[in-house]
Amino acid sequence: MIQKELHDKRLLKEAEMAVTRMYTRRHFLMESAMGLGALALGSLLPGCGTGKGSNNKIAFDPAHPLAPRMPMFPGRAKSVIYLHMAGAPSQLELFDYKPALQQLDGQDCPPSLLEGKRFAFIRGVPKMLGPQAKFAQYGDSRAWVSEHLPHLSGVVDDISFLKGVTTDQFNHAPAQLLVHTGSPRLGRPSMGSWITYGLGTENQNLPGFVVLTSGGKFPDAGKSVWGSGFLPSVYQGVQCRSEGDPVLFIKDPEGMDRNLRKASIDAINKVNEEEYKEYNDPEILSRISQYEMAYKMQIAVPDVMNINDEPAYIQEMYGVQPGRACFANNVLLARKLVEKGVRFVQLFDWGWDSHGTDASLAIDIGMINKCRQVDKAVTALILDLKQRGLLDETLVVWGGEFGRTPMMENRDGKQNPFKGRDHHVDAFTIWMAGGGIKKGYTHGETDEIGYSAVSGKVTAFDIQATILNQLGFDHEKFTYDYQGRPFRLTDVGGKVIREIIA
């Protein structure tokens, strides 16, 4: 009797709460949002799916989320290889030649460079630090490149340098998120996820978005920089390895052959299909697609991720180390992946944070070693894509998340034991090649000591807009509806950098 009374009271309480929820302000706004107010708002928001001129809806079959799709307009590029030097390489030792800075070497930093500015570590008055490299001009474009990149200097006529790149984030994780997701905070889809969502993949046996890491550590922002955010999870980056199994757990467990694996996946997906019929959740279809992709990858991935089948001259050209995890291996794999139809390949190479706190992070020691690790492979990538006729349709991007200061870093007002530079938001260099980008061109310029961009100033949003443009997307109309409003990679900013487009 007592249990029945308690049960009745609980049911009555739940009924009262249900009625209360129906009359809350949030419920009222949610229901009324579908009325005339929503129509009026839609007319004021072009590119949001209901406004005039909208062309942002991606038509695809949820049951086949990675099927190839046409962009909004014909794009010059079909795929992207993004080479991110995690930690931020110093533009002043690589591409931004500043002889006037050498004349200030060792002098106290002028107050005008410090007042009203925020730095990650600099405190007090640091010393100015001249360029720790010799520079020369190369190619018909007469581009400045330092002695630290002797191989890359031979392909400058295929590259467009952006020397006025800026950001508003001076810590690694938020700056990396901004570059790759369009927001310094967690939760947004990465650029690779957006592009795979928009274009699908040309090879149904491989993921549309592949991630390769080197340097011994993940980027500071972690796996969020290749996450799918609020997009279906099928569009997140798939991390592969150049050492050991290319994907963890890709082999069948002991005692399970391929036929048994297929039967188990079919059984799991049958349950998923029944669940989808009941709940109509598109994420369930993504789950089905991912199981099927995993099965296909067991055959396709080991084949494409094998660099031993490359000719000896190609292996030498890239400087690969078969059987080891290294940047050069990853760059060669990136070429193999785009050649097989993968849409977006993201490489993260950790170790470019040249603070001068120890030898490995010194501008004149550790950074030079990092340059030796990447110079040959990056140059080989451009030459290899070019000789295969793939450079015109593959966009290659190289850069970090911010720049480095013209002054030496001093923590707690004391000079660091080795030569190093602090994080810098007002100027750094990113370069692009291929994919319809102008050859042998330099856009933007910094002041005489490389402190601020004085012309050609661009942001992460501008670079994102330009990448999308080369793939055939209007970044303002390429959106995804989430939490009641359309989101886009470039948030509310971004302009296509027309000057660097061929």
Please tell me the predicted confidence (pLDDT) of residue 35: 47
Please tell me the predicted confidence (pLDDT) of residue 52: 32
Please tell me the predicted confidence (pLDDT) of residue 304: 78
Please tell me the predicted confidence (pLDDT) of residue 246: 62
Beta-sheet pairing, 414-415 with 410-411:
antiparallel
Task: Answer yes or no: is 37 within a domain.
Answer: no
Task: Answer yes or no: is 38 within a domain.
Answer: no
Q: Are residues 283 and 368 in the same domain?
A: no
Q: Are residues 158 and 258 in the same domain?
A: no
Domain total for the chain? 3
Alpha-carbon Rg for the chain in angstroms: 26
Task: Answer yes or no: is 425 within a domain.
Answer: yes
- How far is Cα 501 from Cα 490, in angstroms, rounded to an integer? 19
- Going by C-alpha positions, the residue among 347, 479, 496, 384 that lies closest to residue 436 is 496
Question: Crossing angle of helices 460-471/191-199, nearest 10°?
Answer: 20
Q: Are residues 152 and 177 in the same domain?
A: yes
Q: Are residues 342 and 268 in the same domain?
A: no
Q: Are residues 214 and 265 in the same domain?
A: no
- Residue 161: in which H helix or E strand, if any? strand 159-165
Task: Answer yes or no: is 39 within a domain.
Answer: no
3-state DSSP of 287-308: HHHHHHHHHHHHHHHHHHCCHH
Task: Answer yes or no: is 203 within a domain.
Answer: yes
Task: Answer yes or no: is 149 within a domain.
Answer: yes
Q: Are residues 430 and 293 in the same domain?
A: no
- How far is Cα 182 from Cα 270, in angstroms, rounded to an integer? 37
Q: Are residues 236 and 255 in the same domain?
A: no
Torsion, Cα 70 74 76 78, to 10 degrees, reads: 10
Task: Answer yes or no: is 185 within a domain.
Answer: yes
Q: Are residues 260 and 362 in the same domain?
A: no
Alpha-carbon distances, residue 468 vs 59, 425, 443 (angstroms): 18, 24, 19
- How far is Cα 276 from Cα 269, in angstroms, rounded to an integer? 10
What is the end-to-end Cα distance of the chain in Å, rounded? 83
Question: Crossing angle of helices 366-387/327-339, nearest 10°?
Answer: 20
Domain of 286, in residue numbers:
250-304
- How far is Cα 223 from Cα 90, in angstroms, rounded to an integer? 24
Please tell me the predicted confidence (pLDDT) of residue 277: 77
Are the C-beta atoms of 214 and 348 separated by less than 8 Å?
Answer: yes
- How far is Cα 433 from Cα 147, in angstroms, rounded to an integer? 21
Q: Are residues 94 and 8 in the same domain?
A: no
pTM recorded for the entire structure: 0.84
Phi and psi torsions of 423, nearest 5°: -65, 145
**What average pLDDT values come out for the chain (502 residues) when binned by 10 residues?**
52 52 50 46 40 48 84 97 98 98 97 94 96 98 98 98 97 98 97 96 90 94 96 91 62 68 77 79 74 64 81 96 90 96 97 97 97 98 98 98 97 90 98 98 98 98 98 97 95 97 97
Q: Are residues 293 and 192 in the same domain?
A: no
Q: Are residues 171 and 206 in the same domain?
A: yes
Q: Are residues 383 and 366 in the same domain?
A: yes
The region, left, alpha or beta by phi > 0 then psi within -120 to 50, assigned to residue 192 is alpha
Please tell me the predicted confidence (pLDDT) of residue 24: 53
Domain of residue 450, CATH code = 3.40.720
Token digits of residue 79 = 């795929």
Task: Answer yes or no: is 174 within a domain.
Answer: yes
- How far is Cα 335 from Cα 332, in angstroms, rounded to an integer? 5
Please tell me the predicted confidence (pLDDT) of residue 57: 59
- How far is Cα 431 from Cα 280, in angstroms, rounded to an integer? 44
Alpha-carbon distances, residue 153 vs 3, 95, 161, 267, 378 (angstroms): 82, 10, 12, 56, 11
